[in-house]
Amino acid sequence: MADVRETKLPGVGVRHEFTTDDGRVIGVLVHHDGRREILVYDSDDPDACSSVVGLSANDTRTVTELLGASRVTEAVAAVQQEIEGLAIEWIELTPSSPASGATIGDGMYRTRTGSSIVAVIRDGQSIPAPGPEFGLLSGDVVVGVGTSEGLAMMRELIRR
Amino acid sequence: MLIAAGSADAALAFIEIGALILGLAVLSRAAGRFGLPAIPLYLLAGLALGEGGVLQLDVSLEFFEIAAEIGVLLLLFALGLEYSESELREGLRTGTKPGLLDMALNATPGVVLGLILGWDPLAAVLLGGVTWISSSGVISKVLSDLGRLGFRETPAVLNLLVIEDLAMAVYLPVVAALIVGGSATATAVSVAVALAAVSLILLAALRHGRRFSDLVAGGSDETFLLTVFGITLLVAGVAQRLEVSGAIGAFLVGLALSGKTEIRANQLISPLRHLFAATFFLFFSFQIDPADIVGVALPAIGLAVVTVVTKLFTGWYAAGRVGAAPRGRLRAGTVLMARGEFSIVIAALGASLADGPELGALAAGYVLITAIVGPLAAKFSDQIPLPARLQRRRVVPAPAET
């Protein structure tokens, strides 16, 4: 991670900034009242900001979400855009789920529902394209792709 | 008391107060349109309407007198409130040198001019205060309107404001005690008492501010607002009784609040402060005869020219210390030029002196100029040509190759 520099602004808040791999400087100013501003420093005058965008608490969540989004979401979202009628669903395994402790092959999901498990998210890490020998654990989030009816059946099998 | 005085009087008072405050609203809107602070417009309005002007207030004069007094108290309360203990400590640690330069460069021209005009030394010292302190209200608004809060030179500007704030904690009580005056011993005693009270409260605020804040805090917004407003007025009144000056009392209450309580107090009091402070600016220039302003126009302009340059240099130096390039140093210098609310407060403190009316007129003219020139200079500072030798770009560390 890049070095993040912190500067206190009396009466205003705290500013954090860092230099990107491209050599640009960007920062975030957090006001005492919780408002945030994204600062993009000018490449000609490195003391000045070429643009400043104010963010409400709600906007901040959105930006965090966008920047932190997993790659699987991006990839699957792209697929969804191309094929009409195809749906994606995120299904979390509860401790009581019959699927936990079993492999994907054991569940025979494709045969029974026509939908495929294209990824598993475990501890925040995404595991793309798991094979039939892949063992599911409670707390995993299964990413399924198929028709909405098929996905409803898959949810039924996993969450029951 | 107004209502009891009969409905006809009350109706007239409502009309006068309402019309004046609505007038202030129009001015504030107009100022906002041009990206200027409203203070100079309030002052102009007061000059036009007040003594020797076109309008005579009938029944609401009493109301405006007391509202203006409350305005001073709330301005100083907010000045005390503005910075948290850690910000004050940090300011003291890093900002002493620029702070001293700030005082030497900017207070001196005022004091010297006062003496040249043949004023009483105390009035000259007050004029020094008028030229010394930048307007934190105007400056923070300009910085945020121009989107410059994130700029590299901004911490230097804000730290300078913190130091001025701290300096005022010593300056104001001392001059207030001197103004009250009396025999040499009595004055010495009241100066000592004022200083002791300030250091005690400052120390208590730094060490135990949280406990006092916790005591006041809690409850609904309504309870909290009433508590803070009540304490501020009460302490100010007692201080006035003890001949320390009510404004200092309010300042100390602001200093003593810290942490979350401070932020909340700021949010809740600021609408009240806007209302009463606007009244104060209006009423301050209300009492100035426009003919007096014309009389002091030349000294006011001269003083403004000199201190605009000295502030520019102060900002240049302070921003240089945090590593800003010439462009940024120029921005810091221009944004600091604006004087405003506290210069007027200082001049108002000296109203009772023999040179008071002249001091008031000069301060009004001076603030009128600097509060307009400062924000404009800040806005267009990037268009000011810099000498070629200062235009070199600073070396930016090359991005690491991967």
State the burial class of residue B280 (Cβ atoms within 10 Å of its Cβ: 0-12, 13-18, 19+): buried
Give the pLDDT confidence score for residue B11 in this predicted structure: 84
- Answer for the pair B341, B298: CB distance below 8 angstroms, yes or no: no
Q: How many contacts (CB atoms, under 8 Å) link A and B?
A: 83
Closest-approach residue (CA) in chain B for A8: B155
* Cα end-to-end distance, chain B, whole Å: 78
Give the pLDDT confidence score for residue B126 in this predicted structure: 95
Find how far residue A56's CA is from the centre of its chain: 21
Main-chain dihedrals φ then ψ at residue B330, nearest 5 degrees: -65, -40
Contact list in A for residue B98 (CB cut-off 8 A) is none
Based on its alpha-carbon atoms, the radius of gyration of chain A, rounded to whole angstroms, reads 22
Higher-pLDDT residue of A23, B389: A23
CB distance from B156 to chain A under 8 Å? Answer: no
Asked if A45 and B399 come within 8 Å (Cβ–Cβ), the reply is no
Alpha-carbon torsion B244, B247, B251, B257, what sign?
positive
* Smallest Cα distance from A39 to chain B, Å: 7
CB distance from A33 to chain B under 8 Å? Answer: yes
* Smallest Cα distance from A59 to chain B, Å: 18
Nearest residue to B73 (alpha-carbon basis) of B222, B201, B249, B240: B249
* Smallest Cα distance from A117 to chain B, Å: 36
Query: Would you place residue A23 in the very low, low, confident or very high pLDDT band (cuts 50, 70, 90)?
Result: confident
Contact list in B for residue A14 (CB cut-off 8 A) is none
Query: Would you place residue A12 in the very low, low, confident or very high pLDDT band (cuts 50, 70, 90)?
Result: confident
Closest-approach residue (CA) in chain B for A21: B399
Contact list in A for residue B90 (CB cut-off 8 A) is 8, 10
CB distance from A95 to chain B under 8 Å? Answer: no
Main-chain dihedrals φ then ψ at residue A11, nearest 5 degrees: 80, -10
Give the pLDDT confidence score for residue B165 in this predicted structure: 84
Give the pLDDT confidence score for residue B4 in this predicted structure: 52
- Answer for the pair A86, A145: CB distance below 8 angstroms, yes or no: yes
Query: Would you place residue A145 in the very low, low, confident or very high pLDDT band (cuts 50, 70, 90)?
Result: confident
Asked if A47 and B151 come within 8 Å (Cβ–Cβ), the reply is yes
Side chain identity at B256, as an amino acid letter?
A: A
Closest-approach residue (CA) in chain B for A42: B151
Q: Each residue of A81-127: pLDDT tens digit?
A: 556 677 888 888 888 888 888 888 888 888 888 888 989 988 878 88
| 3-state secondary structure at position A9 | strand
Q: For residues B52 and B369, what is the distance between their CA atoms, to the nearest angstrom?
A: 22
Contact list in B for residue A49 (CB cut-off 8 A) is 147-148, 150-151
Asked if B398 and A23 come within 8 Å (Cβ–Cβ), the reply is yes
* Smallest Cα distance from A58 to chain B, Å: 21
Contact list in A for residue B154 (CB cut-off 8 A) is 9
> Which residues in chain B show pLDDT less than 50?
1-2, 393-402
Query: To the nearest whole percent, how much of chain A has pLDDT over 90?
Result: 8
Q: Pick from A35, A43, A47 the residue to mutate for testing the B interface (most B CBs within 10 Å).
A: A47
Asked if B328 and A9 come within 8 Å (Cβ–Cβ), the reply is no
Give the pLDDT confidence score for residue B393 in this predicted structure: 47
Task: Kindly report the pTM of this predicted structure.
Answer: 0.74
CB distance from B394 to chain A under 8 Å? Answer: yes
| 3-state secondary structure at position B56 | coil
Residue A52 has pLDDT above 80, yes or no: yes
- Answer for the pair A147, A82: CB distance below 8 angstroms, yes or no: no
Parallel, antiparallel, or unpaired: how do β-strands A116-122 and A141-146 relate?
Answer: antiparallel
Bridge partners for A119 per DSSP: A128, A143
- ipTM exceeds 0.90: no
Give the pLDDT confidence score for residue A97 in this predicted structure: 82
Query: To the nearest whole percent, how much of chain A has pLDDT over 70?
Result: 89
Closest-approach residue (CA) in chain B for A49: B151
Give the pLDDT confidence score for residue A138 in this predicted structure: 84
Main-chain dihedrals φ then ψ at residue A129, nearest 5 degrees: 45, 65
Give the pLDDT confidence score for residue B241 in this predicted structure: 81
Give the pLDDT confidence score for residue B391 in this predicted structure: 59
Give the pLDDT confidence score for residue A39 in this predicted structure: 92
Asked if A11 and B161 come within 8 Å (Cβ–Cβ), the reply is yes
Give the pLDDT confidence score for residue B401 in this predicted structure: 40
The two tokens of residue A11 are 């009466």
Query: Would you place residue A72 in the very low, low, confident or very high pLDDT band (cuts 50, 70, 90)?
Result: low
